[in-house]
Amino acid sequence: MTKRAVFFDRDDTLIDNVPYLGDPEKVVLAEGARESLARLKAAGFLLFLVSNQSGVGRGWIRPDEVSAVNQAIVNRLGAPFFSKIYLSFAAPDDDPWGDRKPSPLLLWRASHEFGVALDRSFFVGDRIADVLCGRNAGCRTILLAAKEPKKEALRARRWAQSLADHIAPSLRAATDWILERVNRA
């Protein structure tokens, strides 16, 4: 397995977070998303979207609504950047498949299906579950710290900062850091 990949969380990483988003009209790309994905793709990375969508497991949104939102993301990006989109629909307290982040199962699937070398890959996300998912799979991790966490999430943010390989203020900065690591190798 020799292929490198970058795995991305969806909400508050590639798009602005709208809780339990089921309306594709509300998709707003994060600043620099298109440019960052294009740069990474040009550098030879496979790109994957990995997202917990617990609203489905909770009965608040339907799988077809999540699919419509993901298609809107692809359409707004203007290019088919993602090799595949991996989703967990499990609610936090009910994960029958064991694929909800921070489980590395979805990354292991990508590794198996696409020949991805996880130890040569990266995970970019905004939450502790993203950092742990990447670490659990053997990836280097980048925590996006663009937004100030809510008070109740501050402890989790501090924990994530202590575990992440890098903390980036933006998607562009995360991309720069990844490409610097690759260019050094």
Residues in the chain where the model's pLDDT stays below 70: 1, 96, 146-157, 185
Query: What are the residues facing 47 on neighbouring strands?
Result: 6, 82
For residue 165, say whether it is annotated as part of any ligand binding site.
no
| Nearest CA among 2, 35, 31, 38 for reference residue 14 | 31
pLDDT at 147: 66
Structural domains present in the chain? 5-145+165-180 (3.40.50.1000)
For residue 95, say whether it is annotated as part of any ligand binding site.
no
d(CA 133, CA 171): 18
pLDDT at 151: 54
pLDDT at 149: 56
Tens of pLDDT, residues 28-79: 999 999 999 999 999 999 999 999 999 999 999 999 999 999 999 999 999 9
pLDDT at 2: 85
User: Does pTM top 0.75 for this prediction?
Assistant: yes
pLDDT at 145: 84
For residue 126, say whether it is annotated as part of any ligand binding site.
yes
pLDDT at 154: 64
> Which residues belong to the active site?
9, 11
d(CA 180, CA 113): 27
Distances (CA, A) of 114 to 7, 89, 118, 125: 13, 22, 11, 21
Where do the DSSP E strands lie in 11-61?
46-52
